[in-house]
Amino acid sequence: MCDYGSLFLWHLKLEGKPKLGQAYLRRCLRKLKPFKSHLDETLYYKRIFLDIFGSSSGGRLVNECDLSVLFTIARNVCMILAHKQGCQAFGRRESFDTAFALCPRLPLSRCTYEALSEWKAIYECRVAPEARLPNSKKVRVFVRQMKELLDYAEGELRRTH
């Protein structure tokens, strides 16, 4: 990961506070290469998205895991877009806010992003296990906006690649 400049490791380097293995991590992070894989990473997230939702019209039944994955993709694509513009933005809300400010045509609404963020918390932390899954109309909105986000990011990154 150090050799290809992992954005995850940049997050650790810039904001992490290791509890264990501090000396080892410091040695690794000293040789961390710059992150330059914006397009490749975005295409990777697009493949994940298409693997989950590509064969459906977007109205299929989803579960908490699917919604959590959608949030992870949205957050990471926002981080990539922000980084490409020269900004480091890793936080759950900060990544969207920064990408939204830097990319005025970002096709992902705050409402969708926040709803997916809540599903991420529900899935990972079981904060609201009684929460009802969104109906098929809402799922279609999520899927459409995610596809538009991925297409937008790919276009922007190809243009500046």
Q: Do 120 and 70 fall into the same domain?
A: yes
Q: Do 64 and 13 fall into the same domain?
A: no
Q: Are 31 and 23 in contact (CB under 8 A)?
A: no
Cα distance from N-terminal residue to C-terminal residue, the chain:
21
Q: Do 67 and 120 fall into the same domain?
A: yes
Q: Do 59 and 88 fall into the same domain?
A: yes
104 class by beta-carbon count within 10 Å (0-12 exposed, 13-18 middle, 19+ buried): exposed
Average pLDDT over residues 145-154: 98
Average pLDDT over residues 118-137: 88
Q: Do 18 and 79 fall into the same domain?
A: no
- The pair of structure tokens assigned to 139 is 């799922």
Q: Do 30 and 48 fall into the same domain?
A: no
Reply yes or no on whether the pLDDT at 145 is more than 60.
yes
pTM of the model: 0.89
CA angle (82, 29, 121) in 5-degree steps: 50
Please give the tally of structural domains in the chain: 2
Q: Do 78 and 52 fall into the same domain?
A: yes
Q: Do 27 and 76 fall into the same domain?
A: no
Q: Do 27 and 45 fall into the same domain?
A: no
Q: Do 44 and 3 fall into the same domain?
A: no
The residue that leads in pLDDT, 10 or 96, is 96
Q: Are 113 and 74 in contact (CB under 8 A)?
A: yes
35-70 pLDDT tens trace: 999 999 999 999 999 998 876 555 567 899 999 999
Name which of 22, 19, 1 is nearest 10 in CA terms.
1
Q: Do 25 and 67 fall into the same domain?
A: no
The residue that leads in pLDDT, 149 or 125, is 149
134 class by beta-carbon count within 10 Å (0-12 exposed, 13-18 middle, 19+ buried): middle
d(C-alpha 76, C-alpha 53), whole Å: 18
Write out the residue range of the structural domain in which residue 72 sits: 37-160
Q: Do 27 and 60 fall into the same domain?
A: no
